[in-house]
Amino acid sequence: MHLIIAEKHDAAKRIAEILAGSKPGSERVAGVDTYSFGDKVVMGLSGHIVGVDYPPEYNNWQKVDCKDLIRAEIVVRPIQEKIIAALRTLGKKADRITIATDYDREGELIGVEALKIVQEANPSLRADRVRYSAIVKEEILKAFKDSGKIDFELAASGEARQIIDLVWGAALTRYISLTSGRLGKEFLSVGRVQSPTLALIVDREREIQSFVPKAYWEIYADLEKELRVQHAKGRIWEKAEVDEIIARLGPVAIIKSIETKPRIDKPPTPFDTTGFISAASGIGFSAANAMRIAEWLYTNGFISYPRTDNTVYPPSIDLVALTRLFLKGAFSGEAERLLKGKMIATRGKRSTTDHPPIYPTVPVEKSELKDDQWRIYELVVRRFFATLAEACVWDATSLKVDIGPEPFRANGARLVEAGWRYYYPYSQAEEHILPEVKEGERLRVLGHSVDAKETQPPARYGQGKLIKLMDDLGLGTKSTRHDIISKLYARAYVQGNPMRPTNTAYAVVDTLQKYAPTITKPEMTQTLEKDMTLISERNIKEDEVIEKSRVMLTSVFDELTSNQDGIGQSLKDGLRTDKIVGTCEKCKSDLIIRRGHRGTRFIGCSGYPECRFTLPLPRFGTVLVTDKQCEMHGMFHIRIINKGKRPWDLGCPHCNFLEWQAKKSQEKTDPAKTTAEGKPKAKRAATTKKKAILAKGDGLVNVPGIGPKTLEKLALAGIKTAADLAQAKAGSLAKMTGISAKKIVAWQEAAGAMS
């Protein structure tokens, strides 16, 4: 049997359909869907199926010295038990395995992880590797025809990253959290890439806050023929000079010169990952959401691989033939127009051999995609067309005008040839047509105006701009940068877009910059990133890079431990402001977020016990105090962040509590809020949900002792039928669900008797 391993389930299904030439057979192996045709079986993983971690004896944060984590043993733990079981089962039957995961550092490591598991079951297995950049028929067939060797060095560079990030993240996070007293779900996260990135955001915010605006003035004059001109000096920094200029202006303007010449806007370069995320950010997508959608489009064969540093199309892509595919469908007009031109592709500064730039692989109709998917797909198509289009040409006109002794000017632009802008409307440039005038012509001055302005602080970083800066500084990789930004939001270090740091971010970055600046500077992570590339190029061993990183981290800890008292106090002082929600209406003390003995959270008065004013808070999620303030109660608005969910803007806690009280009171008195049986609608909905869960149980509901809540736990672990339960490993299932193995064995016996 020939076993083929793809990175994800959808990719496995699509590859199987392409190779089979028809619909392949399907079978569940250890609860995992596989696809078969002839002697071939294709199965998908779910990203990493194993991960690096510390042994259990290092789990207790209070009992383990953080510095001991630097040289502690690293073990490999299973993440996806069912997939591992399926690999072992299939591996015993196979005589050949082909790794068909995504071709990059991460994909190579994922493939090698799967290979090692299969080889444990069958050491004599032959192994090879296929590489492709798009899951379309031509690329997949060619990849399997030209299979090669597995790149173990590339996988080793990915493994080195995992280990280094684990060690740095675990040791520093524990140290900072313990020193500050922020434990549990509110621990403070510190990372090798995350912390320098956060420092960029905090430093930019400090620039903004410390910026001192400087006043300046601009002088304009309105002339006949609807011509508006500006004084040639532009910004004038002294008001006295403005007044002197105004005093010298006469009633007539004379056209001194007219100069018109062509201005060329070159077409944009092809999308690499950084350029794509930046463009997607410009049309309202977060970095993480843009990449999630792009990966879905890639897996379903609509675009090429979205993780790439390449900005040069390789000769292997027939750009004309690819454009012809779009002569039918939503972009037929653009494709027809493009094919009439020269179609010379632009070239960016970076050319790599692993993957081409991001491009559309096939045409698709808007009705076949969800709205967000279509918008990202359209962005990729239009960028591809723009890179093959001709330049945009303008007629740029410059007028010089004298009003009395004072020089004025006006600039205009008329679009001559839209070129690439016809295909790519995201980068708008407006025409400004000047009226027809002649050199030496005299025009009456209808009036003048003085605009008083101030210089502006630097702009905050949007996600696209920050990812571009991270790329320039060597922070992270094309595959990880959007995840780093997502973590900053999830940890309540930043809010909004453009990003603003929270008080927590200030506390952490200020402390690290003062006592251990190495962690907040890009140079350290730049060095390690270069070393990991050298591993993939066979110029240095994985163990050498890991050891080098441990030595660097040890020196960081020397800085930290020698300043422990100062670090603890600095963090506590900074973090206290992060918990202040407002001022107590009763006693004017600070209102602070507190936690009760049983894990509940509430807003309490710092004047306790004399003042007992409190407000409730949701039990789960990270509480973020925003800078928006309630006009009525003077309290800052609250945002609740739960991992994997949209943030919940709770608003003013006092207003929210009053609304909740009013709603509860209304439910008691308003019959419309209850059902005919007198049950509240919320309870009726819960009952309906339970019935739906029972209906999906497919036999499990008949197993004694299994109720709706247990069904939910089992479903999350992939157990949906009595047969699934009977075949599962009791120990593994117990770990995944939190249910005792003894109970599971009893249920398995009952399920086995039923099936």
User: What is the pairing mode between strands 40-44 and 2-6?
Assistant: parallel
Rg (CA), the chain: 32
Take residue 439 and report the two structure tokens written for it.
Answer: 């050199």
Question: How far, in Å, CA of 437 to CA of 229, rounded?
Answer: 13
Task: Locate all alpha helices (DSSP H) within 300-437, ordered by sequence.
Answer: 319-324, 332-339, 371-388
DSSP string covering 36-58, please? Answer: EETTEEEEE--S-SEEEE--GGG
Contacts of 546 (CB under 8 A, 6+ apart): 160, 163, 164
Q: At 692, which amino acid appears?
A: A
Q: List active site positions.
A: 305
User: In the chain, what is the straight-line distance between the N-terminal and C-terminal CA atoms, in Å?
Assistant: 29
**Sign of the alpha-carbon dihedral angle for 30, 35, 41, 44:** negative
Distance CA 631, CA 648 (A): 20
CB distance 718 to 82 below 8 Å: yes
Q: Is 345 helix (H, G, I), strand (E, B) or coil?
A: coil
* Amino acid residing at 222: D
**What are residue 591's DSSP bridge partners?**
582, 605
Which one, of 172, 205, 186, lies nearest residue 516 by Cα?
172
Sheet holding 614-616, edge to edge: 580-583, 590-595, 601-605, 614-616
Return the H-helix or E-strand segment holding 487. helix 481-490
Measured between alpha carbons, how far is 537 from 152 in angstroms, rounded to an integer?
Answer: 11
452: its two tokens? 């008083």
| H-run or E-run covering 205 | helix 194-210
Query: HSE of 54 in the Cβ direction (CA atoms, 13 Å)?
Result: 21
Cα distance between residue 681 and residue 66, in whole Å: 51
Q: Which residues make Cβ contacts (< 8 Å) with residue 627, sequence separation at least 6?
A: 500, 636
Q: What is residue 593's three-state secondary structure?
A: strand
**DSSP secondary-structure letter at 236?**
B
Rounded to the nearest angstrom, the gap between the alpha carbon of residue 623 and the centroid of all alpha carbons in its chain is: 21
CA atoms of 548 and 218, how far apart (whole Å): 57
Where do we find the tokens 């900005």?
Answer: 311
Q: Write the CA distances from 418 to 285, 335, 397, 427, 565, integer angstroms.
A: 27, 15, 17, 12, 64
DSSP state of 534: H
**Residue 599: closest CA among 572, 618, 624, 625:** 618
- CA-to-CA separations, 351 to 269, 270, 471, 563, in angstroms, rounded: 12, 11, 15, 46
Closest by alpha carbon to 152, among 95, 122, 94, 113?
113
Distance, in Å, from the CA atom of 451 to the CA atom of 458, rounded to the nearest integer, reads 21
Supply the angle between the helices 730-737 and 708-716 in degrees, to the nearest 10. Answer: 110
Place of tokens 């050891």: 547
